[in-house]
Every structure is written in C-alpha cells, then in structure tokens.
A and B are shown apart, each in its own frame.
Chain A
C-alpha cells in the first residue's frame, strides 16, 4: 500500500503535501488540546506501536498469515486526530530511514494510510458500537471498521495511481509515471484487499480491540470529539445549510434524467430507458414546485433534509434495538 517514489508525478505529490499540511496542523492543535491527552510521548508510542504491530503475523483460517497496519486500532484507542499524527510519523520513519514508501510520496501515503484509515475506522466503529455494545457488536464493529478502512485506503491508492496516465504523459501520449489506467489499478488494488488484506485487518482489529476492551485500555475521551448534543447541533446546521444547493445550476454529473442523458449522448441505453423513470421518488426534486420563489424552494429543501434525517435516525434506532445483545 505504500506508494514508492517514481510512481506519482511531482504535481500529484505536491498536491497531497499541500492538502495534508493544514490537516497535520489541525491534528497537532486538536490533539494537544484534547482533554485527557498526555502529550506527544503518546503520539510517539502510538507510532512505535503501529511499527511493531506490523511485525506480528496474524494467523488466518487456512494456515496462512499476514500483518495488519494497526492504524484503525490507534484511531479507536487514541482518537482519529492522534492516530493521524502517529500514522504520519510511522510513514515518515519508514520513508526516511527504511526506504519503505516514498519520501516525495509521503503526503499521498499519509493521506491514504493515516488520514483515511484513522478517520474512517474511528467513525465506522463509533457508528456501529453506539450505546453499550454487547459481545457480538463489540467484535463486529472493529472488524467492519478495519475492513472498510483498509479498503477505502486501497481505493484511494488505486485512484491516485490510475490518475497518473491522465495527468502526466509526454507529447506522444506515453505515461511518465504509473502507467496503468483506472480500469486496471482499481481491480488490481481492490481484489487483494477485499479478499485477503481486508479480512486480515478486520480480524486483527477485532482481536486486539477485544483485549483492549477487556483490559480497559483507552485514551480516547468522548468529550474531545463531541457528545450527542454536538452531533445534533452539527446536524441542525447542515440541515439549515441545505438551501445552498439552490445556488448550483444544472444537473450534477452522473445524475442526469433520461431526457438529459439523451440530450448529452444522443442515445439512451435500453436498461436506462426501461428503469430510469419507473419510480420518481416520494418527493421528486426535493418536492420543489416548478416555478416557486427561492424562499419556498429553500423551505422545501429544509423540510426534505429534516425528513431524510429523521428517517435515517429512526432506521438506525430500530436497527440498534434489534441488534442490542
């Protein structure tokens, strides 16, 4: 998963460095100010743990074994911001001292393996283990978090590698860096991660977290990441901001109606023609009246957002009731 140097163009590397600089800054500020956080020795130890855990082979059914990354474990135990820094430190040491992963590609590798894995792993775990998880959810939640996080990371890596032939070619059209298109990089990265590395990360994360819960090893303070009230305020703000969508003109890419698609391409595939207009939805176009004023449209947007959020919250509540064991 570590992208070596030479595979990404310098402008891609520069872009990811530029994208990660404010993230690292925010992470260092957030981490050091988090209540209950014991300062940078914990980051160093977290990074060292991530290093060491990669040396342990995780036995998997069938007699084979592989190693996990440990970033999701750190994300859950230390919190995503601290895990982001610890993961970046691990990658920096690997690149600078051990030649594992590129120095120029450090920004991209940090984006994939530190940012995506720690945040996706943490929030998936939080979503699946809300309330007081029982034994089953206590195992399923970290396993799913590990599995999804490493696959998201692999997908991002595949996109970065697959974008190279589009953005970096010589005048004859010959790729200058990683030469394979997305049609090749995505399956090449995703198939082994979906089938082999994903299960290893899932198994390893679930196993380690089960012992972490038994021994009550946790440094993450829920308060630092906001309780339910913070979440509700955030949700309310997002709902009130939904009318911003009215500013956008035209149809989002890939969300064309059958008529729009026909206008763009000159033909309509048979399946799309048959299924495209079959069910327009409960409130097509968020229930907007065609020629209504902007205020009325904004009201419809807000009502749609409230309805959608309420349905999802209710569905999760029902699911939680069913899964509470």
Chain B
C-alpha cells in the first residue's frame, strides 16, 4: 500500500462512525452537521407540503361542506373557544372537534399529533402556576425579590391547578380546530374559501403563489444543501460553514427574484393588468347553512358563558 504522505490528516484517521457532514463544533451533541439538519428540515417540510397538497381532500363530514362555509364555521368555533370563560363549554367544543374529526375521517391520532406539541408547550409554560405565584391567595412561603415575588399560596387548589387545566384546554381546543382545518382542506380549497369570504384578491393570490413557489424554492434549497453535503468529507470550521450558509441563502434569494421577474413578465405578456379575475364557486346548499348555523350557535353560547 503506498504511503499517504501527501494526504490531509483527516484522511488518515480511521473512523468507525459515518462522517459528520459539515458538523461545526464537537461532541456527541454536534454529531449531525448543520447541513444534515437543514436537509432534514427541508425534507420533512417538503413531505408535509406534498401530503397537504394531495391528501386532505378526502370524503367526510367537513370535506362535504363548501370551503368558505367550512372556514367560517371553524373560525367561529375557534373564536368561541377563545371567548368562553366556562370549562364545560370548552370541554364540549373539544368533544365536538373530536367528533368532527372522526366524521371527517381524520384519525384522532393524527389530530392529537398535530395538537400535542402546543398542548405540551402550554402545560410546561404554565407549570409555575402550580406554585401559585401567579394567582391570588394568601402567601405561605414568600420567595425571591419583590419584582418576581414567588409564594406558595393557600389558593393553589382553588386557582392554580384549575386555571392551568383551563388554559391548556383552551389552547388544545383552538389548536385542534386549526389542525382540523388544515387536515380537511386542500390549500386550493382554502384559498377559494378565503376569496369567497372577501379577503382581498391580492392577498389570496399572493398566498396561492407563495404556496406554489415553495415547491420550487424547496427544490433549490435541497439541491444546495445536497451539493454542500456531497462536496464535504471532513469537518468544516464554523467560519467556512457560515460562508456556505450565506452564499446558499443569497443564491436562493437571487433565484427567487429572477423567478419573480420571469413570472411577472409572463403574466404581463398574457394581459395581466393588476386586476384579479376569480371564479365564483358553487352556491351554498342546505348542509352549508346548517353548519354555519351550528357554528354560530356555539359562538353565541360562548358569549353567555
């Protein structure tokens, strides 16, 4: 075997583990490089986009409702969940959401997966409330400087735990309704719904184009990350890693602006003058009115409780 005199030191090292790609830093925590992490982010986001574009328009209770009515109804119920100060109303909204999910052939597991991160975050954020330093009550054990006065209070049972439960329930209710909207509505239907709800056409058209361009820019970003990965064998230092990030970000920005120019010219050449012409969707039918009535009923109930 010829000697490796001219080879760089990293080439002579025997490693049993796969080479970390562009990993800045040391230790187990940084075993995966930031390019890998960026690639992971891009890949998982692309999968979500594709799933969203293709897989949310199945047949079910909510899917059968006209998109603008669906959007209006879910927003009205979300507003009701945000307004109510009564835990029973909140519980009923959560129950109704679960039933709607089942009726719309959205698995409860999927709904829980979408809602759980927000619920867990809200619970962790509210954990100090168990110590009672947020809610009124008689101090039993004062702690800390006055600005952050902390006290175990006699009111924990009355205020702390129920308040935490109520707050987390509210977050679960609203977030699960938002999740239900995205799980039962394709982006195209959502944008149509927004149009019928009189959201300005500029805003809706930009939303729609943004969603479409995401695929293009994601491809560019993925190519850039893969190119970085394939050209790197050893461990890159932080400075060169930063340079790589900046050059890729600027590249994506430049491509985005070039694409915008091309699309703008294509639109102008096809006669676009800044006026948005949109198709009117089918008229609302009985079940749409029924759904709107139900959601308004929940909304008005929440005003009284």
Contacts and interface: CB of A to CB of B under 8 A. Distances in A.
Interface of A: 4-7, 9-10, 13, 24, 28, 32, 38-49, 51-53, 55-65, 73, 77, 85, 89-90, 92-93, 95-99, 102-104, 165, 170, 172-177, 179-181, 183-184, 203-204, 207-208, 210-212, 214-215, 217, 219
A56 B187 contact: no
A180 B135 CA distance: 9
Contact of B206 (A44, A174, A179, A219): A44
Interface stretch (B6-14, B34-42, B280-288): B34-42
Interface stretch (B57-65, B94-102, B237-245, B290-298): B237-245
Contacts of A43: 206
Contacts of A62: 25
Contact of A48 (B81, B182, B210, B249): B210
B92 interface: no
B174 A59 contact: no
Contact of B24 (A53, A59, A73, A170): A59
A5 B90 CA distance: 14
Residue among A5, A47, A102, A104 having the largest count of chain B Cβ atoms under 10 Å: A5
Contact of A177 (B167, B207, B238, B241): B167
A315 B209 CA distance: 46
- Interface size on B, as a range, is 35 or more
Contact of B27 (A57, A63, A77, A175): A63
A174 B163 contact: yes
A46 B27 CA distance: 37
B151 interface: no
Given A63-B238, A95-B178, A56 B260 contact: no
A33 to B, nearest CB: 10
Contacts of B75: 103-104
Residue among A42, A102, A174, A203 having the largest count of chain B Cβ atoms under 10 Å: A174
A40 B225 CA distance: 28
30 contacts: A6-B170, A13-B82, A41-B264, A41-B267, A45-B213, A45-B260, A48-B210, A49-B253, A49-B256, A52-B217, A52-B218, A55-B42, A58-B242, A58-B245, A59-B24, A59-B34, A65-B34, A73-B253, A89-B203, A93-B207, A97-B190, A102-B174, A104-B78, A165-B134, A176-B166, A211-B247, A214-B250, A217-B250, A217-B257, A219-B257
B82 A104 contact: yes
B267 A52 contact: no
A47 B212 CA distance: 11
B114 to A, nearest CB: 6
B264 A47 contact: no
Interface string B114-132: 1000100110001001000
Contacts of B152: none
Main secondary structure of the interface of B (DSSP, over half): helix
Contacts of A180: 134
Contacts, number: 233
A40 B202 contact: yes
A5 B170 CA distance: 9
A40 B209 contact: yes
A59 B242 contact: yes
B78 A103 contact: yes
A208 B122 contact: no
Contact of B78 (A5, A173, A177): A5
A184 B214 contact: no
B136 interface: yes
Contact of B221 (A55, A73, A181): A55
The 7 A-B residue pairs whose C-beta atoms are closest, nearest first, are A63-B25, A211-B250, A207-B246, A44-B209, A5-B174, A6-B171, A55-B41
Contacts of B216: 48
Contacts of A208: 246, 249-250, 253
A109 B173 CA distance: 20
Given A10-B82, A211-B249, A85 B182 contact: no
B260 A41 contact: yes
Nearest to B261: A38
Nearest to A207: B246
A179 B267 contact: no
Contacts of B78: 5, 103-104
B89 interface: no
Interface string B168-206: 001101110011011000010010000000001011011
Contact of B245 (A28, A32, A48, A207): A207
Contact of B259 (A5, A45, A58, A175): A45
A24 B202 CA distance: 11
A62 B261 CA distance: 40
A92 B207 contact: yes
Given A104-B174, A175-B163, A177-B167, A52 B252 contact: yes
B38 A59 contact: no
Contact of B174 (A6, A24, A28, A210): A6
